[in-house]
Structure 1
């Protein structure tokens, strides 16, 4: 459990500290933010770490202006910053007085939107970075993972889950994470909602993973209003549990699907909510195909916040699981859980309708595998697709 894996974002955070007075690392609880801050520590002349959930550390900030002034040459790390929003104006005042970069590294378990509501006074002084649980290219660096792809897909990327000694130990950790998230973390963010209500909603979403969002139908099934459905979705989005993928839109009169798709972001939490404990359970589960789709989409979209992403589906059923756009480049991505995927006629029609030249079908094939199915369509492992995107898009 003491294995330290170098995170892809480490160098980016160090560079941002050289260029900004304040850097915020945001991500779900237990995803490795504190560990990453400690990995960065040796690159700094002096660093002070304060966990704002620890009473002894909070006591050190009884007079925050005095504490910050006394330690003005240090990089001050404030963990779980969303717990003490009244610090933000004082941070701004300190930053404006000291006039140097790399003064504060703040860590938060709520989204930029929620943090920004409290930190508006830091506009122009702060850079935001989202840290996800471990991604595939990071999992491949774990020396004792014999099958990084399937282990990551089953256990998810939270460090204590991925690095557990056994699948059962990982599963138990995730069940405890879900329980703590519902019973403590949500209320600690100031969100007042009964844990059992959000639990029912979250578990139902696990069964609907990757489907089109139908708020009215979901509301009817749960006996709540559509407004409450949207409120619960916002909660799970802003705590990094849920991803909403918007549909492709255009100004012309094509009849396109207008509802978004919704995915649980961490495949390990999805599996725990569905009571999937082993790889055999996963491979036999009715949600196997949608689970692979969500896993692949999350791995790809977490590579870079610069991607513009959507899916495409029209009234004739022609569909593309994921369209990525960066600057003037576009690529279509299909996610197929079969080891021998084939080209759907609807895919080719959709490519023609959108004038996209290149499509990748991502399947759970051998890590180094990729081969053409046609001039425009390539079957690929997740590893090869990530390699392509890093070389051609980023």
Structure 2
């Protein structure tokens, strides 16, 4: 079993809150993680459990031994009312560990959000650090502590990095050796788990149009979200496009990265960027199942940027600090892939798929640094092997190899 970066965060949350919601996509390892805590365990995939909880949520919760883990609660969001009543009668930290493969707290059926009674934490697919038995390594913490000089690169062949990107982060994929077997798993994942969760979170009259939509947005990962263009390309109404995007966010298949803005920033683009939440799912939808194919693909740049986004999202989620992530784009076409902000500190990150990096690759980061009064660290991730400095006396800028994620 992989040791997860979130484990200590989960333990701390249970110590300070009567209920904790561990949410994330199906098959990311939520149940495995929860079972390691040795709590009483019930799962609402079980029809009898689901019926009992639906018909009498208060009585059902009162009858359970505590502490308890309740798995897949998006199937019975009514249970939150029973949990609220039980907590108000006997508030004891750590009594309820809830899991869901949809964002239950955003679901229409969830009449009570347990405000003041619950902490929500998210489990993402495996990070490369978790796969390589380094769950405590957090690049975001290292960057904000200004400790880049202490980072050691990882010896890994570039083609092996591409293979890891193609595999993605779902634990089950690492039990499968053949490309065909992995393709069969991803087909099954989309046709069973994704479809099932979509039905849990909202009304879906036409599953085939939804799956077609899911395939159509894959090549748009890393792109600015334009609902009008999506509606035109898919033959759907803008309202349906908005609904599908919202549901995909709720089951953790996509993220919409908000734009960075500041008080001086009427010139900033206001659109979000769309990202797939797992590079393995993305590569499967793009028909990329081999490192050589990825190396030659016209989608290579977007796939690698999606991979970096996926890894940054995990490191941000598990960081000791509260960090916000944005993208940066101005009306005069200055772009920076990612902006990470912690208070007054900012990290500006660009992603390059090439093996070499040039001073010109930092031009938009340098422009941003020169125009801002805040402390900004500039980073370009690239396909090389070494850490290189491109900064000056006033502004720090580094080229960092992708192998730092491993």
**Which residue of structure 2 aligns with residue 134 of structure 1?**
126
CA contact (8 A) 1:288 1:337 kept: yes
**Which residue of structure 1 aligns with residue 15 of structure 2?**
18
How big is the shift at 1:78?
0.8
Work out the CA distance in 2 between the residues paired with 1:39 and 1:325. Answer: 34
How big is the shift at 1:183?
3.7
Work out the CA distance in 2 between the residues paired with 1:339 and 1:156. Answer: 21
CA contact (8 A) 2:74 2:101 kept: yes
SS, match of residue 102 in structure 2: coil
Work out the CA distance in 2 between the residues paired with 1:357 and 1:132. Answer: 28
How big is the shift at 1:20?
1.0
How big is the shift at 1:67?
5.1
**Which residue of structure 2 aligns with residue 187 of structure 1?**
199
Distance 1:365 1:140, change over 3 A: farther
**Which residue of structure 2 aligns with residue 175 of structure 1?**
187
Work out the CA distance in 1 between the residues paired with 2:266 and 2:58. Answer: 58
User: How do residues 79-118 of structure 1 correspond to structure 2 at under 5 angstroms?
Assistant: 79-111=71-103, 113-115=105-107, 118=110
CA contact (8 A) 1:156 1:162 kept: no
Work out the CA distance in 2 between the residues paired with 1:227 and 1:63. Answer: 35
Larger deviation, residues 18-27 vs 57-66: 57-66
1:361 aligns with 2:353: no
SS, match of residue 333 in structure 1: strand
**Which residue of structure 2 aligns with residue 318 of structure 1?**
334
CA contact (8 A) 1:112 1:128 kept: no
**Which residue of structure 1 aligns with residue 218 of structure 2?**
206
Work out the CA distance in 2 between the residues paired with 1:324 and 1:182. Answer: 30
How big is the shift at 1:56?
4.6
SS, match of residue 129 in structure 1: strand
Question: Which runs of 5 or more structure 1 residues have no equivalent in the other structure?
Answer: 42-46, 388-394
How big is the shift at 1:255?
2.4
**Which residue of structure 1 aligns with residue 152 of structure 2?**
none
Aligned residues: 372
Larger deviation, residues 52-61 vs 331-340: 52-61
Work out the CA distance in 2 between the residues paired with 1:362 and 1:92. Answer: 46
SS, match of residue 292 in structure 2: helix
Q: Indicate which of 27, 30, 33 corresponds to 1:36.
A: 33
Work out the CA distance in 1 between the residues paired with 2:51 and 2:250. Answer: 29
Distance 1:203 1:348, change over 3 A: same
SS, match of residue 12 in structure 1: helix
CA contact (8 A) 2:107 2:201 kept: no
1:371 aligns with 2:388: yes
1:50 aligns with 2:33: no
1:327 aligns with 2:343: yes
- Whose relative contact order is higher, 1 or 2, with alpha carbons under 8 Å and at least 6 apart? 2
How big is the shift at 1:254?
4.5
Distance 1:192 1:163, change over 3 A: same
Work out the CA distance in 2 between the residues paired with 1:357 and 1:31. Answer: 34
Work out the CA distance in 2 between the residues paired with 1:319 and 1:107. Answer: 37
Work out the CA distance in 2 between the residues paired with 1:63 and 1:220. Answer: 46
Q: Deviations over 1:335-360 (max 9, x none)?
A: 11111122333342233233554211
Distance 1:271 1:98, change over 3 A: same
CA contact (8 A) 1:26 1:109 kept: yes
1:5 aligns with 2:17: no
Distance 1:314 1:60, change over 3 A: closer
CA contact (8 A) 1:247 1:258 kept: yes
CA contact (8 A) 1:155 1:167 kept: no
Work out the CA distance in 1 between the residues paired with 2:118 and 2:289. Answer: 41
Q: Deviations over 1:77-97 (max 9, x none)?
A: 111101012211111112222
Work out the CA distance in 2 between the residues paired with 1:245 and 1:179. Answer: 26
